[in-house]
C-alpha cells in the first residue's frame, strides 16, 4: 500500500518537534517604499518572465502588449468618468492590494527564514527512532459519547460480531464508516498519542477504548494487523518535513504579528 508521506511528516508536530520558542525572524521594518509608476513595458516583462525564447513567446508578448494598451485606454476613460471613485471599485482595489502584499510578504519570509538541512535530518532521525520498523493497520468507530460507546462495545462482544458492520451502521465518521471503519496502515507517530502505546502493545484483534477524542466524541479502535516496514528514505520525506517546519515558523510569525504593539 502506498504510504501517505504528508501525514507522516506532519506527525512531527504531534511528536513536538519544535524549532524553539526563541526562533529569530528577520522582521526589522523596512523604510516605506515610494509609489512606483509601473509602465506597460514593465508589465509585459513581468508577465512573460521565465518564458523560453521563440516565436510562441514573441506572440505572447505582442498579445500582452495589445491587451495592456487597450486596458490603458479603458482606464483613461474610466478616470474621466470618475469610475475609479466609485466605492465598490475602491474596495476591490484595496482587496487586490492587500492580497498582493500578503503574498509578497510570505515569499520574502521564506527567503529570510530558510530551514537548515541539519534541522530536517535531525527531525527525520527522530521519526525513524520513534517509529522503528513497524506499521499498524487500524479501524475505528466514532460515537457521540461514552454511553453510546459502551453500547457499541457490548455489541462487539457478541458472538460473530463484525467490527466493519457495526462501523458502517453506528460510526458518526461517515467516510471511514462506509469502509467499515478502515484507517489504513499507520506508523506510531501517525496515531493519536493517547492510544499510540496501547496500539503498540496490543495484539491483532484487540479493541482499544473507549477513547475520548479532542472534539468530545468517543472512539473505539481495533488493531487489525501489524507488519514490519522500512521507513521511506530521507530524500522522499524531505519536502514534507520542510513543509511541517515551515508551518511551525509561519504560526510563530502570525502569533508575533498578532500581539498588540508596544
Q: 129: which residues sit within 8 A by CB, 6+ positions away?
A: none
Q: Which pLDDT belongs to residue 113? A: 96
179 φ/ψ angles, rounded to the nearest 5 degrees: -100, 25
Sheet holding 134-143, edge to edge: 182-186, 134-143, 218-228, 207-212
Q: Which pLDDT belongs to residue 262? A: 63
Tens of pLDDT along 121-131? 999 999 999 99
Handedness of CA 21, 243, 250, 192 (dihedral sign): negative
Tens of pLDDT along 242-262? 999 999 999 999 999 998 876
Q: Which pLDDT belongs to residue 78? A: 93
- At the topology level, CATH places domain 133-228 in Chitinase A; domain 3 (3.10.50)
In the chain, which residues have pLDDT < 70? 1-37, 262
Q: Provide the whole-model pTM.
A: 0.67
Extents of the domains making up the chain = 40-112, 133-228
Amino acid at each position: 500500500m502506498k504510504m501517505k508521506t504528508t501525514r507522516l511528516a506532519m506527525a512531527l508536530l504531534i511528536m513536538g518537534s519544535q524549532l524553539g520558542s526563541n526562533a529569530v525572524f528577520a522582521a526589522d521594518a523596512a523604510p516605506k517604499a515610494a509609489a512606483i509608476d509601473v509602465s506597460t513595458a514593465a508589465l509585459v516583462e513581468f508577465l512573460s518572465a521565465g518564458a523560453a525564447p521563440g516565436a510562441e513567446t514573441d506572440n505572447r508578448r505582442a498579445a500582452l502588449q495589445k491587451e495592456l494598451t487597450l486596458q490603458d485606454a479603458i482606464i483613461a476613460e474610466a478616470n474621466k468618468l470618475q469610475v475609479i471613485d466609485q466605492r465598490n471599485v475602491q474596495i476591490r482595489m484595496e482587496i487586490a492590494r492587500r492580497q498582493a502584499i500578503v503574498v509578497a510578504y510570505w515569499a520574502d519570509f521564506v527567503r529570510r527564514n530558510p530551514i537548515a538541512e541539519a534541522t530536517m535530518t535531525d527531525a527525520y532521525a527522530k521519526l525513524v527512532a520513534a517509529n522503528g520498523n513497524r506499521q499498524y493497520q487500524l479501524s475505528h468507530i466514532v460515537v457521540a459519547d461514552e454511553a453510546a460507546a459502551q453500547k457499541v462495545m457490548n455489541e462487539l462482544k457478541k458472538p460473530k460480531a463484525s467490527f466493519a458492520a457495526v462501523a458502517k451502521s453506528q460510526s458518526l465518521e461517515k467516510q471511514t464508516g462506509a469502509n467499515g471503519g478502515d484507517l489504513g496502515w499507520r506508523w506510531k507517530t501517525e496515531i493519536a498519542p493517547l492510544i499510540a502505546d496501547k496500539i503498540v502493545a496490543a495484539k491483532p484483534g484487540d479493541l482499544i477504548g473507549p477513547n475520548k477524542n479532542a472534539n468530545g466524541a468517543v472512539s473505539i479502535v481495533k488493531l487489525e494487523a501489524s507488519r514490519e516496514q522500512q521507513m521511506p528514505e530521507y530524500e522522499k520525506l524531505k519536502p514534507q518535513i520542510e513543509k511541517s517546519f515551515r508551518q511551525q515558523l509561519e504560526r510563530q510569525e502570525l502569533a508575533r504579528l498578532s500581539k498588540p504593539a508596544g
